[in-house]
């Protein structure tokens, strides 16, 4: 009997197929592709399994995805790819092109009584902590419900134990299984094996280092009694690890979606239970939302749905509401106008590129004679940008093109800011552009650098009518002369994040920054006015900031919402869970709207009491 068992184990060991785990290599140029081809030829057979765990392009451009698809697909029969930060942070198609090429942004397969699952925890247009969308969690639930394999291997970009904010929701799903192992990426050159709260995770090194010309990769083998990891550097084993099965997994039942309310009155709660990336719009006591799946919904102040409309596309750009119309743009390139009162479609027009920017409206005062001027006397027009950076101006009532501008060479994600006849836009190419709203001609452009860490694309600028202010990923705050585009000042010492606001009297700029700081500075010279230590934790969440009645109310990456009053006292108001929050918006004089990417929104009113708060002088 022992001899038979030994024989079976020996056969299983021989037949165990190789799984190659690769991540963080840039296939965007021919030289890297050639080196990668040499690696594949020497190490990977057609019947092996190749898993690419994100970050295989430089910026996730459509051309990069196309070239990578054509290059990777012939490498072996079993190839599985999920996107990382590089593929999603600046995506020209908001993830659509990736899912088109690889069928989805997640995968699963069975091998030797193991269920291997890959899910992306990268977020579109964000490099914050990892996050699992509602749709990903629903898919994971279905996979677990329908699998009979005893052992689950879950692969993701971010660490499951440390860097995915809503991981408990996944743990609740996985609690149906007793043997679960997590695998994620690591910046270390060796395998890291972590145990935390009864869970096990293996973090594998970054795969390729083209600069140092090293062939680094991790190879897995799934055996009946264990899983083995071998890290190779230039075809030599540099590190190894064996983990016996069953994997340790302590069942969880946590992460309630209930709001933790500290000091506000909740007037309305509404949960759409789907991803909403575009921020809601408030217009005359109505709330208009646009989900990623393309459903535009109009609510009244009680949360009652007045109407909804299916765009049959995906939406990431905040709509615009003006002159009784709702205007939305889709990733598929459709621009659609809807009747605000009924939700009926009025007009639509298609473009060859995704509409990623928010939409702005203004009264056109240019000289162009419109072909349809006799139909509508209204000068109301709209401005928006497509994924290549092209900027368009269209007449609202007729959708007749007024002008185009091709100054930008990168995606534009924010809202076009209009000051008089000037449009201010931030682009991924590193430039802040000023465009004439009546002609579409470039007035000026300014850039600190074309490096990605200096691009202002994630920041919606603010203005006092004389200067334009914005932040960049390198932490700098910049002031430009509105008329000339010349730099007035640029300060890097504040280490600012992509959220900035200006007071109503234009005497204070305020923004979030690193190390739990919130800064108030002088717009004239960039000098410090006040620093507040809020202890909200590391917070890279981007949002628009504003002042109302002397209060600044802002969301954080941890799901907390804070307020700072005119005396610089701060207070935590409530927590909405682990999902990224949108900007806090004013619904009316005393009521505010908070919402998040999970499709959860509330209307709330502050309960102000005398309080011995904390402040920093």
CA distances from 528 to 467, 478, 577, 615 (A): 18, 14, 33, 15
Q: Give the list of residues 6+ apart from residue 425 with CB closer than 8 angstroms, or none.
A: 357, 385, 391, 408, 412, 414, 416, 417, 432, 433, 435
Q: Please report the pLDDT score of residue 607 as a whole number.
A: 87
End residue of a domain, out of 244, 267, 297: 244
Q: Measured in whole angstroms, how far is the alpha carbon of residue 309 from the centre of its chain? A: 24
What's the rounded Cα separation, in Å, for the pair 30 and 553?
Answer: 49
End residue of a domain, out of 214, 244, 274: 244
CA dihedral 405, 409, 415, 419 (to 10 degrees): -50
In this structure, is residue 354 part of a structural domain?
Answer: no
The confidence band for 563, taking pLDDT boundaries of 50, 70 and 90, is very high
- Contact present, 556 and 541 (Cβ < 8 Å): yes
Residue ranges making up the domain that contains 534: 458-617
In this structure, is residue 466 part of a structural domain?
Answer: yes
Q: Based on the number of CB atoms within 10 Å of its own CB, is 228 exposed (0-12), middle (13-18) or buried (19 or more)?
A: middle
Can you give the CATH number for the domain in which 47 is found?
A: 3.60.21.10
pLDDT in tens, 399-418: 999 999 999 988 998 889 99
The confidence band for 218, taking pLDDT boundaries of 50, 70 and 90, is confident
In this structure, is residue 501 part of a structural domain?
Answer: yes
Q: Measured in whole angstroms, how far is the alpha carbon of residue 342 from the centre of its chain? A: 32
Express as a percent the part of the chain with pLDDT over 90: 56
The confidence band for 12, taking pLDDT boundaries of 50, 70 and 90, is very low
Is the pLDDT at 10 greater than 80, yes or no? no
Express as a percent the part of the chain with pLDDT over 70: 91
Strand partners, 229: 220, 241
3-state SS, residue 309: strand
Number of C-beta neighbours around residue 263 at 10 A: 15
Q: Please report the pLDDT score of residue 270 as a whole number.
A: 93
In this structure, is residue 381 part of a structural domain?
Answer: no
Helix axes 134-145, 167-174, angle to 10 degrees: 10
Q: Based on the number of CB atoms within 10 Å of its own CB, is 198 exposed (0-12), middle (13-18) or buried (19 or more)?
A: exposed
- Contact present, 280 and 582 (Cβ < 8 Å): yes
Closest residue by Cα to residue 359 from 325, 332, 388: 325
The confidence band for 353, taking pLDDT boundaries of 50, 70 and 90, is very high
Can you give the CATH number for the domain in which 509 is found?
A: 2.130.10.10
Closest residue by Cα to residue 125 from 524, 583, 580: 580
Strands of the 442-447 sheet, one edge to the other: 417-419, 422-426, 431-436, 442-447
What's the rounded Cα separation, in Å, for the pair 220 and 241?
Answer: 10
In this structure, is residue 318 part of a structural domain?
Answer: no
End residue of a domain, out of 216, 244, 272: 244
The confidence band for 7, taking pLDDT boundaries of 50, 70 and 90, is very low
**Total tally of structural domains belonging to the chain:** 2
CA distances from 33 to 15, 59, 97, 286 (A): 30, 16, 21, 52
The pTM score is: 0.89
What's the rounded Cα separation, in Å, for the pair 476 and 98?
Answer: 32
**Distinct helix (H) and strand (E) counts, the chain:** 7, 47
pLDDT in tens, 240-255: 899 998 888 876 655 5
- CA angle, residues 563, 568, 571, in degrees to nearest 5: 35
Q: CB-side exposure of 162: number of CA atoms within 13 Å?
A: 14
C-alpha torsion sign, points 341, 343, 348, 350: positive
Q: Can you tell me the mean pLDDT for 490-514?
A: 92
In this structure, is residue 420 part of a structural domain?
Answer: no
In this structure, is residue 350 part of a structural domain?
Answer: no
pLDDT in tens, 332-347: 999 999 999 999 999 9
In this structure, is residue 105 part of a structural domain?
Answer: yes
pLDDT in tens, 122-156: 988 887 788 999 999 999 999 999 999 889 999 99
């Amino acid at each position: 009997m022992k001899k038979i068992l030994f024989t079976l184990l020996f056969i299983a060991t021989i037949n165990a197929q190789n799984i190659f785990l690769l991540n963080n290599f840039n296939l965007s140029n021919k030289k890297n592709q050639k080196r990668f081809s040499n690696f594949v030829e020497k190490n990977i057979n057609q019947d092996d399994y190749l898993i690419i765990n994100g970050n295989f392009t430089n910026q996730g451009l459509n051309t990069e995805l196309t070239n990578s698809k054509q290059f990777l697909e012939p490498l072996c029969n079993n190839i599985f790819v999920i996107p990382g930060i590089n593929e999603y942070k600046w995506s020209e198609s908001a993830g659509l092109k990736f899912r088109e090429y690889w069928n989805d942004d997640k995968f699963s397969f069975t091998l030797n009584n193991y269920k291997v699952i890959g899910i992306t925890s990268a977020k579109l247009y964000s490099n914050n902590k990892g996050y699992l969308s509602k749709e990903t969690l629903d898919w994971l639930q279905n996979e677990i419900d329908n699998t009979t394999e005893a052992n689950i291997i879950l692969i993701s970009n971010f660490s499951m134990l440390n860097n995915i904010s809503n991981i408990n929701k996944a743990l609740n799903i996985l609690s149906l299984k007793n043997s679960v192992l997590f695998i994620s990426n690591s910046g270390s050159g060796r395998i890291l094996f972590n145990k935390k709260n009864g869970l096990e995770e293996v973090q594998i090194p970054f795969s390729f280092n083209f600069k140092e010309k090293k062939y680094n990769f991790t190879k897995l083998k799934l055996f009946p009694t264990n899983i083995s990891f071998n890290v190779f550097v230039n075809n030599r084993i540099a590190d190894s690890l064996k983990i016996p099965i069953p994997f340790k997994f302590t069942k969880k039942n946590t992460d309630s979606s209930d709001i933790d309310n500290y000091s506000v009155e909740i007037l309305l709660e509404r949960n759409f239970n789907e991803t909403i990336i575009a921020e809601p719009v408030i217009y005359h006591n109505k709330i208009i939302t646009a989900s990623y799946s393309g459903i535009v919904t109009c609510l009244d102040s009680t949360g009652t749905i007045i109407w909804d409309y299916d765009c049959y596309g995906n939406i990431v750009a905040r709509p615009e509401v003006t002159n009784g119309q709702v205007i939305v743009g889709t990733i598929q390139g459709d621009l659609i106008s809807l009747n605000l009162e009924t939700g009926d479609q009025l007009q639509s027009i298609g473009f060859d590129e995704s509409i990623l920017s928010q939409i702005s409206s203004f009264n056109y005062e240019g000289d162009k004679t419109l072909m349809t001027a006799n139909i509508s006397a209204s000068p109301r027009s709209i401005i928006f940008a497509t994924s290549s950076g092209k900027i368009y101006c269209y007449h609202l009532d007729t959708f007749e093109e007024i002008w185009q501008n091709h100054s930008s060479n990168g995606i534009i994600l924010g809202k076009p800011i209009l000051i008089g006849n000037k449009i201010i836009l931030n682009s991924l190419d590193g430039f802040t552009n000023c465009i004439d709203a009546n002609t579409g001609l470039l007035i000026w452009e300014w850039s600190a650098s074309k490096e990605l860490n200096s691009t202002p694309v994630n920041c919606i600028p603010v203005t006092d009518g004389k200067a334009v202010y914005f932040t960049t990923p390198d932490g700098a705050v910049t002031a430009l002369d509105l008329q000339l585009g010349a730099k007035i000042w640029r300060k890097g010492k504040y280490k600012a994040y992509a959220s900035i606001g200006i007071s109503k009297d234009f005497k204070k700029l305020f923004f979030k920054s690193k190390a739990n700081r919130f800064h108030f500075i002088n717009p004239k010279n960039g000098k410090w006015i006040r620093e507040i230590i809020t202890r909200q934790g590391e917070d890279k969440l981007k949002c628009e900031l504003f002042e109302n009645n002397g209060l600044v109310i802002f969301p954080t990456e941890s799901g907390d919402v804070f307020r700072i009053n005119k005396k610089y006292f701060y207070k935590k108001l409530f927590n909405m869970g682990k999902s990224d929050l949108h900007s806090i918006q004013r619904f009316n004089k005393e009521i505010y709207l908070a919402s998040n990417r999970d499709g959860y929104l509330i209307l709330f009113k502050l309960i102000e009491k005398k309080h011995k708060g904390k402040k920093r002088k």
